[in-house]
Amino acid sequence: MRMIFVNLPIKNLAASKAFFGALGFSFNPDFSDDKTTCMIIEENIFAMLMEEDRFKDFINNGISDATKSQEVLIALSAASKEEVDETLAKALAAGGKEWKPIQNYEGFMYGCSFQDIDGHVWELVHMIPQG
């Protein structure tokens, strides 16, 4: 069984935990310390949120400024249109920023995108099965 760990640089650990906690995510203390937290997305999917000085220990070059250019789009599935809308509302209320307008492809896909407090883009997509 594979697991995925998305590693993201952050400015402030407490602020990031508060932001993602407001979206309903939890954290694994076994893989967390005073500069890093392991955010649980699903059973085998995690985001390692690392303060920038800790993140630098894992890279050979500079950290991208996600508020000015995109290094990655993180897309998560959603069970319904309502979940997309509710999560977007929580993200905006917790300090995130709307990134692109709602995408509504009737009968196929419904989604949103927002930037977290460090500028990383998160997308939520409800895919409607065809056939």
102-117 pLDDT, tens digit per residue, is 999 988 999 999 999 9
Query: Rounded to two decimals, what is the model's pTM?
Result: 0.90
The pLDDT tens digits of the residues spanning 8-17 come to 999 999 999 9
Q: For residue 14, which phi and psi values (nearest 5 degrees)?
A: -65, -40
The DSSP bridge pattern shows strands 45-51 and 4-10 to be parallel
What does the alpha-carbon distance between residue 91 and residue 49 come to, in Å, rounded to a whole number? 17
The overall average pLDDT reported for the chain is 95
- As a whole number of angstroms, the distance between CA 4 and CA 21 comes to 20
pLDDT of residue 131 exceeding 80, the answer is no
Cα 67 to Cα 23, 64, 99, 121, distances in angstroms: 20, 9, 11, 9
Q: Could you tell me the CA-to-CA distances from 100 to 111, 118, 126 in Å, in that order?
A: 10, 16, 16
